[in-house]
Amino acid sequence: MCPNQILRVINITFIAIVPFGAVWFARHMQTKYNRHRDKLDVFKTLMSNKNNSLRENNIALALSINTIPVAFSHNRAILKKQRELMQIWKENGISANLLETVFVDLLRLIADDLGYKKSLTDNDLSLCIHPSDFDYKKEHF
C-alpha cells in the first residue's frame, strides 16, 4: 500500500467515525443537562415551599419530595435523608422542629450535590418568608 492509499483510508475512517462521535457527545451533554435541570427543579420547589409549608397540604412539595429518588438516585446520603423526612412526616405528633431540621439537612445535601456547597449557608437554607408574615390590610389601606 502506498502512502496515498493509507491517507485515503485514514480520511475515510475519520469521515465515518467523527459524525458518530459528535452525535454521541451531543447526546451525552444533553442527558447531563437534563439531569441537572431535573435536580434544580426539585431543589427550587423544595426551597420555595420550605418551613411552614411542611405542615400544610402542599402538593408541589410532596411531588418534589417523591421525585428525589429519581433525580438523585446516585446519591445515597440524599436518599437516606429523604426516607428519614418521609418517615417523620408520616408519624403523628412529631415536633415541627425535628421535621424542619431534617428538611434543612436534606436541602443542604441537595445544594452540595448541585455545586452550591460554598455559596449557600445554613441560614440561607433555613430562613424563609411566609405569606402570613405580611399584613396586607395595613400595607394597602
Q: Which residues of the chain have a pLDDT value below 70?
A: 1, 51-58, 92-97, 122, 126-141
pLDDT for 108-121, tens place per residue? Answer: 899 889 888 777 77
Q: Which residue has the cell 405542615?
A: 55
Cell of 114: 448541585
pLDDT attached to residue 93: 46
pLDDT attached to residue 135: 55
pLDDT attached to residue 28: 95
pTM (two decimals): 0.70
The DSSP letter of residue 64 is H
CA angle in degrees (0–180, nearest 5) for 96-124-128:
50
